[in-house]
Structure 1
Amino acid sequence: MANLSLYTVRAAVMLDSDGNRLIAKYYDRGQQQIQGYKTLKEQRKFEGELFLKTRKSSSEVIMYDGQTVLFKYVNDVYFYLVGNPEENELLLSSVLNGFVEGVSILLKHNIDKRSLLDNLDMVVLALDEAIDDGIALETDPNVIASNVSKRGTDTIDVSLSNLNEQTLIDAYKQAKERFNLALLR
């Protein structure tokens, strides 16, 4: 029977070249929980076994433990996307490639463990732009990078020196103006 669910992704995992976890998100809403991967210990065991199976593989798609797994190795980082066993590999591949390319754009085409950890906030935001609770939302890397970059400019820069020079009423007016501008966007 064909998979007619929007919930296509069960997990997104990034490991370093030694198989250590950098980022991992497991999605279980709207689908069966990945069998036996509810605790951190079980997830780490799954990730370690997955790393051992894929580190010398030339393929980008494997069936592992009853799951469809797509992976991509860039410099010293492994990107994994885990889906249902009957999931369309092309859809998962487009999500994975879009996410990896989006991260590459955000990190100025310098994907490695150090830059990934230094910019962890942007990488997690990019993952959230591409996949929301197991639903593939975006596959275009330019859109993913653009949406993450926009979020970065929406933050309010409040420095202590700026606060010292303002009265409480001035600070309130400035915050109100920024809030109204954010609502109008």
Structure 2
Amino acid sequence: MDGGGKYVLLFSLQEPSLYTVKAVFILDNDGNRLLSKYYDRELYPSMKEQKNFERNVFNKTHKADNEIAFVEGMTIVYKSSIDLFFYVVGSSQENELMLMSVLNCIFESLSQILKKNVERRCLLDNMEGVFLVVDEIIDGGVILESDPQQVLQKVNYRVRKLSIIQATSSASCLLLPASPFLLSFSPLIGVS
């Protein structure tokens, strides 16, 4: 209360931001990193700090039955499957439902790609697809997609596109960007 009998409320409002996700990581049942992406470079700038944070998060969550944890001032949502732990990290004021929608999208998308066999061995065998899924859902900390079906369509398109490029390049065709300079010399370099 101030001198005039009025209550003074002091609080800080965090300005809304699109940069919702601070980090995503997947650990095995021993707490070893299989995948990690940190979107806030100031959060844990060194590999050593990141691994210490991941170890701390794992130690506090791997035996708990909860889905949300608060560790080192960060909001963390997590899920386990067989021998994997999936984590999505946001700031302390972040909406847990937003983070949970990202976590569920990652998990459901990977479940489809891995044919419901979400375990360490299958994940490691398909790391290229795992990175594609994460990149389709989050870009620089901004949530791009939360619908697993949309993610799968985009990933499938990108995988098909990469397969076509690889098949074409293995057939000794030269793929070049379309520019007037290159097209004017196309007979000389085998591009028509």
Please indicate, yes or no, whether the TM-score normalized by the shorter chain is above 0.5. yes
1:27 alignment partner AA: Y
**Structure 1 stretches of 5 or more lacking a match?**
174-185
Residue by residue, what CA displacement relative to the aligned partner does 1:19-74 show, whole Å, maximum 9, x if unpaired? 00000000127xxx22xx11001111111111111010110001110000000001
Offset at residue 75 of structure 1 (A): 1.3
Normalised to the residue count of structure 2, the TM-score between the two structures is 0.80
Counterpart of 1:5 in structure 2 is 17
Q: Secondary structure at the match of 1:83?
A: strand
| 1:49 partnered with 2:68 | no
In the alignment, the residues of structure 1 paired with residue 17 and residue 103 of structure 2 have an alpha-carbon distance, to the nearest angstrom, of 18
Offset at residue 171 of structure 1 (A): 5.4
Counterpart of 2:182 in structure 1 is none
Which structure would you say has the larger Rg?
A: 2
2:27 alignment partner AA: L
Residue by residue, what CA displacement relative to the aligned partner does 1:118-165 show, whole Å, maximum 9, x if unpaired? 1101100100111110011111011111111110110211475x439x
Normalised to the residue count of structure 1, the TM-score between the two structures is 0.83
1:19 alignment partner AA: G
Where do 4+ consecutive residues of structure 1 move more than 4 Å? 168-171
Match of 1:105 among 102, 107, 112: 112
Counterpart of 2:191 in structure 1 is 172
| 1:114 partnered with 2:118 | no
Counterpart of 2:7 in structure 1 is none
Q: Percent identity among equivalent residues? A: 43
1:91 alignment partner AA: M
Is the CA contact 1:6–1:135 (under 8 Å) kept in the aligned structure 2? Answer: yes
**Structure 2 stretches of 5 or more lacking a match?**
1-12, 174-186
- Please show how residues 27-176 of structure 1 align to structure 2 within 5 Å: 27-28=39-40, 33-34=42-43, 37-155=44-162, 156=165, 157-158=167-168, 160=170, 162-163=171-172, 172-173=191-192
